[in-house]
Amino acid sequence: MSAVLRVSALNVEACLVNTTIQPYRLESGTAHFLVSDCDFDDVPGQLQDALAFLSDHAADIRWMMQTPESAATLVFAREA
Protein backbone atom coordinates (compact mmCIF):
# COMPACT_ATOMS: atom_id res chain seq x y z
CA MET A 1 0.00 0.00 0.00
CA SER A 2 1.45 3.30 -1.00
CA ALA A 3 -1.16 5.79 0.24
CA VAL A 4 -3.53 5.38 3.16
CA LEU A 5 -6.13 7.62 4.78
CA ARG A 6 -6.43 7.12 8.54
CA VAL A 7 -9.54 8.48 10.24
CA SER A 8 -9.76 8.45 14.03
CA ALA A 9 -12.92 9.27 15.94
CA LEU A 10 -14.62 8.28 19.19
CA ASN A 11 -17.35 6.36 17.36
CA VAL A 12 -15.74 5.69 14.00
CA GLU A 13 -17.38 2.25 13.86
CA ALA A 14 -20.83 3.84 14.16
CA CYS A 15 -19.96 6.41 11.48
CA LEU A 16 -18.99 3.65 9.05
CA VAL A 17 -22.53 2.27 9.10
CA ASN A 18 -23.62 5.40 7.22
CA THR A 19 -20.84 5.46 4.62
CA THR A 20 -20.31 3.81 1.25
CA ILE A 21 -16.61 3.23 1.84
CA GLN A 22 -15.26 0.59 4.19
CA PRO A 23 -11.78 0.41 5.71
CA TYR A 24 -9.38 -2.42 5.03
CA ARG A 25 -8.48 -2.25 8.74
CA LEU A 26 -10.27 -0.98 11.83
CA GLU A 27 -8.13 -0.74 14.93
CA SER A 28 -8.47 1.15 18.24
CA GLY A 29 -10.93 3.73 16.92
CA THR A 30 -9.01 4.31 13.68
CA ALA A 31 -10.25 3.31 10.24
CA HIS A 32 -7.60 2.73 7.55
CA PHE A 33 -8.61 3.24 3.91
CA LEU A 34 -6.53 2.30 0.87
CA VAL A 35 -6.16 5.46 -1.20
CA SER A 36 -3.58 4.27 -3.73
CA ASP A 37 -1.81 1.03 -4.51
CA CYS A 38 0.63 2.59 -6.97
CA ASP A 39 4.27 1.59 -6.64
CA PHE A 40 6.32 3.45 -4.02
CA ASP A 41 8.31 5.17 -6.76
CA ASP A 42 5.15 6.44 -8.50
CA VAL A 43 4.48 9.54 -6.39
CA PRO A 44 2.55 11.32 -9.19
CA GLY A 45 0.27 8.28 -9.46
CA GLN A 46 -0.25 8.21 -5.69
CA LEU A 47 -1.19 11.89 -5.72
CA GLN A 48 -3.60 11.43 -8.62
CA ASP A 49 -5.23 8.47 -6.87
CA ALA A 50 -5.46 10.42 -3.60
CA LEU A 51 -7.16 13.38 -5.25
CA ALA A 52 -9.65 11.05 -6.93
CA PHE A 53 -10.32 9.16 -3.68
CA LEU A 54 -10.87 12.36 -1.69
CA SER A 55 -13.16 13.75 -4.39
CA ASP A 56 -15.14 10.52 -4.84
CA HIS A 57 -15.62 10.01 -1.08
CA ALA A 58 -15.82 13.61 0.17
CA ALA A 59 -19.30 13.20 1.66
CA ASP A 60 -18.32 10.06 3.58
CA ILE A 61 -15.12 11.67 4.86
CA ARG A 62 -17.05 14.76 5.99
CA TRP A 63 -19.53 12.49 7.78
CA MET A 64 -16.72 10.73 9.69
CA MET A 65 -15.08 14.08 10.54
CA GLN A 66 -18.22 15.68 11.98
CA THR A 67 -17.10 15.66 15.63
CA PRO A 68 -14.37 17.89 17.10
CA GLU A 69 -12.49 14.79 18.32
CA SER A 70 -12.12 13.42 14.79
CA ALA A 71 -8.75 13.48 13.06
CA ALA A 72 -7.58 12.34 9.64
CA THR A 73 -4.12 11.74 8.22
CA LEU A 74 -3.20 11.00 4.62
CA VAL A 75 0.04 9.01 4.48
CA PHE A 76 2.16 8.45 1.36
CA ALA A 77 4.96 5.91 0.98
CA ARG A 78 7.90 6.45 -1.31
CA GLU A 79 11.27 4.95 -2.03
CA ALA A 80 14.22 6.88 -0.68
Q: Give the tens place of pLDDT for each residue, 8-46.
A: 988 888 889 989 999 999 998 999 999 999 999 898 999
Does 1 score more than 70 pLDDT? no
SS3 28: coil
Q: Domain limits of the chain?
A: 3-76
Give every CB contact of residue 1 below 8 A, 6+ residues apart in sequence. Answer: 34, 36, 37, 77
Does 80 score more than 70 pLDDT? no
Task: Please give the pLDDT value at position 59.
Answer: 95
